[in-house]
């Protein structure tokens, strides 16, 4: 990577090569730091930096008072010739669930998974992938969760640039979930249909008799490129097909001190023609409505119906179980892995553009509007 090299790179490369060839075996102690510094004519600080990076990448283990050793064989597993790089958040509801499904599906095909967590600093995870490539063998495929950090500051475009430069075997990167950057690199896209989800919610609430709806997002105005734009677009598309039967208010915090937009919430619901239904952009946002509506003399669902999004455990932990938009994570992961496996030995790349539809899980938080 341009501008990212330093004097310790030859030392790092030689250590990794020695591990790959078996010259340094799992559990074997590496030479003392001072010996390495003299051999490579670098400072002790440089050696320490190299070793620290290898420890963070789980290539080496350090034991206080004993020294630094090659990691166990399990830490270096995946030397198979079929390795897949996965760029995604690896924890939490929804994102972590996507990663778990991907990992399970890939393991069934005997693929080594090279994991780079998008919660990490962007340049650092690019560097760690390149480091692990040397151990696992260069990845034959790449999966990027384009929603868990995809904006210019998270460097998604940089990922593609670097990977195409250094990972020659990656012929067709696979973007899953959603791609939020305005530029769209050549790749296969297997994405959730967030617009369809918004359309379904609009149709469902309209069918219950609701005509004035609030869409509670993470910010007002909607963040450019965010999935909420697609959801809102779906609501508006249904409204257009329904002849403008819905009146849709957009609600969300206007600054970082505004919490869930409580002041705006009170203003909207103080009107005589107040909304009778709310769609929240994530299940956990519904908690604010359960907390604040009673102080306005309103109950869920008798006075206000509420629909959540992502169908996470939050949806069943609230005082009234939440109707929520369910995204089929297993279907998304299987489609991505099946595409990779199918393209593995193909002579020509066949790119796909798939949309995975959403489904509403109906619970007690929504009821028909009283006449």
pLDDT band at 92 (very low <50, low <70, confident <90, very high): confident
Q: Residue 223's pLDDT band (boundaries 50, 70, 90)?
A: confident
Question: What are the Cα distances from residue 142, in Å, to 97, 197, 228?
Answer: 18, 27, 26
Q: Is 194-327 in the same CATH topology as 79-186?
A: yes
pLDDT of residue 73: 45
Confidence of residue 102 (pLDDT cuts 50, 70, 90): very high
The rounded Cα 326 to chain-centroid distance in angstroms is 16
CA atoms of 115 and 132, how far apart (whole Å): 9
Question: What pLDDT, in 10s, does the model give residues 158-186?
Answer: 666 666 565 666 777 898 998 777 777 78
SS3 123: helix
The DSSP-derived string for 314-332 is HHHHSSSPPEEEEE-HHHH
Residue 214's pLDDT band, with cuts at 50, 70 and 90, is very high
Q: Which one is predicted more confidently, 243 or 252? A: 243
Output the pLDDT for position 294: 94
pLDDT at residue 220 is higher than 90: no
Query: In this predicted structure, what is the pLDDT of residue 63?
Result: 77
Measured distance CA(211)–CA(194) in Å, rounded: 21
CATH fold label, 9-75: Arc Repressor Mutant, subunit A (1.10.10)
pLDDT at 171: 75
- Residue 12 · residue 29 · CB < 8 Å: no
- Mean pLDDT (whole number) for 268-281: 92
Flag whether pLDDT at 61 surpasses 70.
yes
How close are the terminal C-alpha atoms of the chain, in Å?
65
Q: Where are the domains positioned within the chain? A: 9-75, 79-186, 194-327
SS3 191: strand
Between 245 and 164, residue with greater pLDDT = 245
Residue 363 has pLDDT above 50, yes or no: yes
Any idea which architecture 194-327 has in CATH?
3-Layer(aba) Sandwich (3.40)
Reply yes or no on whether the pLDDT at 210 is more than 90. Answer: yes
How is 248-260 classified by DSSP, letter by letter? EEEE--SSTTSTT
Helices (H), the chain: 9-21, 33-40, 44-56, 95-108, 122-136, 156-166, 194-207, 227-241, 262-269, 286-292, 314-317, 329-343
Q: Which residue has the higher pLDDT, 51 or 148?
A: 51
For the chain, the residue count is 371
The domain defined by 79-186 carries CATH number 3.10.28.10: no
Q: Looking at per-residue confidence, does 223 or 135 come out higher?
A: 223
The model's pTM is 0.76
User: Which of the residue ranges 172-181, 238-247, 279-288 would you say has the lowest mean pLDDT?
Assistant: 172-181
In degrees and rounded to multiples of 5, residue 320 shows phi and psi of: -125, 125
Tell me the sheet residues that pair with 250: 215
CA distances from 3 to 7, 20, 123, 129, 206 (A): 12, 27, 11, 17, 56
Do β-strands 277-280 and 305-309 pair in parallel, antiparallel, or remain unpaired? parallel
Phi-psi region of 84 (alpha: psi -120 to 50; beta: other; left: phi over 0): beta
DSSP string, 326-370: EE-HHHHHHHHHHHHHHHTT-SS----EEEEPEEEE--TT--PPP
187-196 residue pLDDT tens = 899 999 999 9
Q: What percent of the chain has pLDDT over 90?
A: 44
pLDDT at 256 (0 to 100): 53
Spatial separation of the C-alpha atoms in residues 84 and 67, rounded to whole Å = 32
Q: Identify which of 87, 106, 133 has the alpha carbon closest to the alpha carbon of residue 341.
A: 106
Give the model's pLDDT for residue 4.
42
State the average pLDDT over residues 110-121. Answer: 71
Helix or strand (DSSP H, E) at 87: strand 83-88
Tell me which of 215 and 13 has the higher pLDDT: 215
Of the candidates 144, 37, 157, 32, which has an alpha carbon nearest to the alpha carbon of residue 85?
A: 144
- State residue 84's pLDDT score: 84
User: What is d(CA 305, CA 301) in angstroms, rounded to the nearest whole number?
Assistant: 5
Are the C-beta atoms of 97 and 103 separated by less than 8 Å?
no
């Amino acid at each position: 990577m341009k501008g990212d090299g330093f004097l310790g790179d030859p030392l790092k490369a030689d250590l990794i090569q020695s591990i790959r060839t078996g010259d340094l075996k799992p559990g074997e102690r590496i030479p003392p730091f001072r010996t390495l510094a003299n051999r490579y004519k670098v400072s002790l600080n440089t050696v320490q930096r190299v070793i620290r990076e290898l420890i963070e990448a789980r290539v080496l283990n350090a034991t206080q008072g004993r020294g630094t050793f090659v990691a166990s064989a399990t830490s270096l597993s995946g030397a198979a010739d079929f390795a897949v790089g996965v760029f995604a958040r690896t924890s939490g509801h929804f994102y972590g669930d996507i990663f778990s499904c991907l990992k399970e599906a890939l393991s069934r095909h005997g693929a080594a998974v090279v994991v780079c967590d998008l919660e990490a600093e962007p340049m650092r995870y690019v560097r760690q992938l390149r480091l692990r490539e040397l151990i696992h063998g260069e990845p034959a495929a790449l999966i990027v969760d384009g929603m868990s950090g995809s904006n210019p500051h998270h460097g998604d475009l940089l990922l593609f640039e670097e990977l195409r430069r250094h990972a020659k075997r990656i012929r067709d990167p696979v973007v899953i979930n959603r791609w939020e950057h305005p530029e769209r690199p050549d790749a296969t896209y297997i994405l959730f249909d967030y617009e369809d989800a918004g359309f379904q919610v609009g149709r469902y609430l309209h069918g219950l008799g609701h005509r004035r709806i609030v869409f509670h997002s993470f910010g007002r105005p909607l963040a450019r490129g965010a999935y909420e734009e697609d959801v809102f677009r779906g609501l508006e598309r249904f409204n257009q097909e329904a002849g403008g039967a819905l009146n849709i208010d957009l609600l969300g915090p206007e600054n970082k001190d505004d919490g869930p937009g409580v002041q705006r919430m009170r203003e909207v619901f103080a009107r005589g023609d107040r909304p009778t239904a709310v769609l929240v952009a994530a299940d956990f946002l519904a908690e604010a409505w359960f907390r604040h509506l009673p102080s306005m003399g309103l109950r869920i669902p008798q006075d206000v119906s509420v629909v959540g999004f992502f169908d996470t455990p939050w949806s069943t932990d609230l005082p009234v179980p939440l109707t929520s938009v369910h995204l089929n994570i297993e279907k998304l992961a299987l489609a991505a892995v099946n595409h990779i496996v199918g393209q593995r030995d193909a002579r020509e790349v066949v790119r796909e553009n798939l949309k995975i539809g959403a489904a509403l899980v109906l619970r007690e938080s929504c009821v028909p509007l009283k006449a």
